[in-house]
A and B are shown apart, each in its own frame.
Chain A
């Protein structure tokens, strides 16, 4: 079974600075997907960024980017120019490719335990 580890329960960063959240995972699969979800106090789970394992290029979404190291099984999230609205819990998640001849698009997400990010004004 796959596992996802987030070793930083809490992080804080000064507004406008850059912060990196860590995530490692364990899998024997070669094809999979990785996600970062944000959960603000409203508790809504919001997708921040995704990475397909077969893509070598790191994903980027505006101020959010990832450092995907497949051999090291590492998937960190970098937030640049931090804003007060970035304060939230951040969850790293793993999804199998699901392309095994069975039904696709239905594989579950395995989540890490989350990192609480605080933005200091």
Chain B
């Protein structure tokens, strides 16, 4: 298996622009997680899905952030409009259906908003 796939790996955009991050989970995994990593806040969960349904979005910073999972093999995280404080590494992870529910991480997307 190719593992969790994220695109793009790097994104540089100007403040106010829309940014879309993409994730393809490992085939057969039924849960998908979006994390954000910054120096100030460390690794924090933004949202997670189970069987394509959002379960917990309490970590989504504000209305500028939205996430979708239209099917079992694809998810997007959108920021509109983007701000410099959104600059971070965004990770997608998916998890197995069997104990101990190990989470597999994608390589991350480094987002820079100027």
Contact = CB atoms under 8 A, between A and B. Distances in A.
B89 A106 contact: no
Size range of the interface on A? Answer: 20 to 34
A108 B108 contact: no
Contacts of A95: 100-101
Contacts of B98: 105
Interface residues of B, number: 29
B77 to A, nearest CB: 15
Nearest to B49: A106
A109 B89 CA distance: 17
A108 B105 contact: no
A108 B108 CA distance: 17
B112 interface: no
Contact of A106 (B55, B105, B110): B55
A4 to B, nearest CB: 10
Interface stretch (B14-22, B40-48, B78-86): B40-48
A78 to B, nearest CB: 20
A108 B59 CA distance: 11
A89 to B, nearest CB: 10
Nearest to A46: B105
Given A43-B107, A45-B93, A106-B31, 17 more contacts: A42-B107, A43-B110, A44-B105, A44-B107, A47-B102, A52-B100, A95-B101, A105-B50, A106-B48, A106-B95, A107-B101, A108-B45, A108-B56, A109-B45, A109-B103, A111-B44, A113-B42
Lowest 8 CB-CB distances: which A-B pairs, in order?
A45-B105, A106-B50, A106-B31, A111-B43, A108-B45, A105-B101, A33-B100, A113-B42
18 contacts: A33-B100, A37-B105, A42-B107, A43-B89, A44-B107, A47-B103, A50-B100, A52-B99, A91-B43, A95-B100, A95-B101, A103-B51, A105-B50, A105-B98, A106-B31, A108-B48, A108-B56, A109-B33
